[in-house]
Amino acid sequence: MKGLTKKQREVLDFISAFIRGHKYPPTIREIADNFNITAKGGYDHIKALEKKKYLHCIMNRSRTIEVLSPSNAYTEGIQAIPLLGTVAAGRPLFAEQNFDGSVDLPEKYLGKGKYFALKVRGESMIDAGILEGDTAIVRHQNTADNGDIVVALVDEAVTLKRFFLEKNRVMLKAENAAFPPIFTQNVRILGKLTFLIRNYEQ
């Protein structure tokens, strides 16, 4: 994405991820709300991206933004995986408030289904080779088998742990002896870990 500022790349990533999740583009107001800027600021970003031939839109009509860039989510063989921020209880997983950009991956690495990405925080899974700062690529599903590493929602917090179903509860086990397991009867599985992306230049 040569010629784009950091913020313009973030806006373009958000639009691509929004379209993938909703099957229609965001409004300027939704873009502005996501980045906590004014509608005029959102409009200016759209016009800048349009001028640089990354977008096309009809400004006097709602939801008419079209992504044009050959490096965007619709490049043949490339899939834009939405990168999600904080996923709050009661909010749909792919709500626009959760989007924090996207990760482009070759489709050949992905199976069927819907995927999302999360940045790993903390050291609770280091013995499974999952480190702080890794990007977890997760297949969206609401079930898991014992031993699967899952993204789960527990007490309004998202956690990455190994799943075990017990008689009357679920155990979410850390892969670090310093972290005790989580035992709960109130858990929602958001997805199963499929692979990791690691940046060694961080």
Residue 2, C-beta contacts closer than 8 angstroms, at least 6 positions apart = none
Q: Catalytic pick from 161, 167, 173, 192?
A: 161
> Which is higher by pLDDT, 121 or 189?
189
Contact in structure between 124 and 175 (CB atoms under 8 Å): yes
Label residue 90 by pLDDT band (50, 70, 90).
low
pLDDT over 80 at 76, yes or no: no
Strand-strand pairing, 78-84 and 115-119: parallel
CATH of 115-197, one of 3.40.50.620, 2.70.170.10, 2.10.109.10, 2.40.50.140: 2.10.109.10
Tell me the whole-structure pTM to 2 decimals: 0.63
Following DSSP, what letter does each residue of 21-79 receive, concatenated? HHSSPPPHHHHHHHTT--HHHHHHHHHHHHHTTSEE--TTSSS--EE--TTSTTSTTEE
- Over residues 22-49, the mean pLDDT reads 88
> Which is higher by pLDDT, 112 or 149?
149
Query: Distance between CA atoms of 120 and 35, rounded to whole angstroms?
Result: 22
User: Angle, nearest 10°, between helix axes 6-22 and 39-51?
Assistant: 100
pLDDT over 90 at 79, yes or no: no
Q: Is 62 designated active site?
A: no
Label residue 74 by pLDDT band (50, 70, 90).
very low
The structural domains of the chain, with segments of one domain joined by +, span 6-77, 115-197
pLDDT over 80 at 3, yes or no: no
> Which is higher by pLDDT, 15 or 93?
15
Write down the mean pLDDT value for the chain.
Answer: 83
DSSP 156: T
pLDDT over 70 at 115, yes or no: yes
Q: Which pLDDT does position 77 carry in this prediction?
A: 64
- Over residues 109-126, the mean pLDDT reads 87
Q: Which pLDDT does position 201 carry in this prediction?
A: 57
Q: Which pLDDT does position 75 carry in this prediction?
A: 46
Label residue 200 by pLDDT band (50, 70, 90).
low
CATH 3.40.50.300 fits 6-77, yes or no: no
Q: Which pLDDT does position 141 carry in this prediction?
A: 93
Q: Catalytic pick from 47, 112, 114, 124?
A: 124
> Which is higher by pLDDT, 192 or 86?
192
* DSSP element (H, E) containing 19: helix 6-22
Q: Is 161 designated active site?
A: yes
Q: Which pLDDT does position 191 carry in this prediction?
A: 93
| Maximum alpha-carbon separation in the chain | 59
> Which is higher by pLDDT, 18 or 150?
150
pLDDT over 60 at 94, yes or no: yes
